[in-house]
Amino acid sequence: MSPQQPAGRPAGGLISPAENTWCPGCGNFSIEHMMKSAIAELSEEEGIPLENFVLLGGIGCHGKLVDYLNVNSFYGIHGRSVPAATGIRLANPDLKVICHVGDGDIFAEGLDHLIFAAKRNSDITVVVHDNRVYGLTTGQYTPTSPTGFKGRSTPGGITEHPLNPLEVMLATGATHIARGYTKKIRQLKDLFKEAIMHRGFSFVDVLQICATYFNLTDYYNEHAYELREGEVDTGQFESALGKIREWDYDRDAPIPLGTFYSVEKPVYEEKFQALTAGKPDRRALVRKVLEERR
């Protein structure tokens, strides 16, 4: 970012004055800047006021993103941003609610919440900073680390296989599923915009370079490719599943990037909206309930 960029809208003023403490070469920078641009552009193009965006951060290197952007934020606790996000969306349907979570954060500590938010089609966006390692706690394995990964807690190498988070999400009912890569930033921004605008639960797994504990740059550059138009039928469960299974986060295989699945289903928060609409005099309602008990 050039420091001369004008303050205020669109993108320039969204960078906060907080000191950035990510390692040089960390993929989190790409996610930060592409999210910033996605928000700025959506604000311009779709007329969404900037104050209607809310970012939630998990705990880990990834979570710091919410400090770095001048956007409403809920910097919560490890693994638990997703239910808070649903709460926020329940309270105010105008808000665009985006969770920045880590792979340890959401696939280990908070997997239950992720699965249930997908199952209920909560109208939020979950962006996983999937560096396949615990960054902030200095290099342990996570649910997406490949077999054989030697971390500080598993110096002999892990024998278990990683989760394929996209497959988990498809199986549990997510209505929008995508994967990006921090070295393909233009696509990343578009994936963010698409996910935020999707009505319902959006999931974006971002292959994020951890420069310090698990640098997979060469591997990803060799294997990753962008899905072309028509390569997957995003309205089709079977077609999405096939593409999602092309790479299982373990074997050597081509790694497709892009949107795998996107369908419309009823949104969880919708049916609760009517209940609290308007400004009802609830004390009168209490009296009425009591009257009926006489």
Partner 1 sequence: MTEYSVLIGGKAGEGINTAGLSIAGLFSRLGYRTYMYFDYPSLIRGGHNFAIIRASERTIGAHRTQVDVLLAFDQNSIDNHRQRVHDATTVVYDASQVMRAEGYGLPLDRIVEEEKAPPITGNSAMLGALTRVAGIGREVLEDVIRGSVPAKHLEANLRVAGRGYDAAGDVFTVEPLERPSLPVLTGNEVTGLGLVHGGLESYVAYPMTPTSNLLHFLAGHAEDLAIKVLHPENEISVILMALGLAYAGEKAAVGTAGGGFCLMTEGLSLAGMSEIPVTIVMGQRPGPSTGMPTYTSQTDLHFVLNAGQGEFPRLVVAPGDLAETYAWSATALMLSWRYQVPAIILTDKTLAEGAYSFDVGAIIEPPDPEPVLWDGTGEYRRYARTEDGVSPLAFPGREGAVVKVSSYAHDEIGFTTEAVEGVTALQEKMFRKGESLKAELSTYPTVRSYGPRDAGKTIICWGSEKSACIEAAERFGAQVVQPLVLAPFPARQWKEAMIGAGKVACVENNATGQLARLLRQQGFDPGRPVLKHDGRPFAVDELEARLLEVFA
Decide which of partner 1, ligand TPP, ligand SF4, none touches 134; Cβ closer than 5 to 8 Å per partner kind. Answer: ligand TPP
243, 227 Cβ separation under 8 angstroms: yes
251, 223 Cβ separation under 8 angstroms: no
Footprint on residues 89-128 left by ligand TPP (CB under 6 A): 102-105
- Residue 64 as a binder of partner 1 (CB under 8 A): the answer is yes
Footprint on residues 162-181 left by ligand TPP (CB under 6 A): none
- Residue 44 as a binder of partner 1 (CB under 8 A): the answer is no
Residues 122-161: x where in contact with Mg ion by CB under 5 A, - otherwise, as a string: ---------x------------------------------
Q: What is the secondary structure of 120-188 as a DSSP string?
A: HT-S-EEEEEE-SSBTTTTSB--TTSPTT---SS-TT---SPPP-HHHHHHHHT-SEEEEEETT-HHHH
3-state secondary structure of 260: strand
**CA pseudo-torsion sign 257, 204, 119, 229:** negative
Decide which of ligand SF4, ligand TPP, Mg ion, none touches 137; Cβ closer than 5 to 8 Å per partner kind. Answer: ligand TPP
- Residue 104 as a binder of partner 1 (CB under 8 A): the answer is no
d(CA 141, CA 158): 8
Q: Out of 20, 70, 154, 212, which residue is the one contacting partner 1 (CB under 8 A)?
A: 70
Of 12-20, 60-68, 173-181, 258-266, the segment contacting ligand TPP by CB under 6 A is 60-68
Tell the smallest beta-carbon distance from residue 79 to ligand TPP (Å): 7
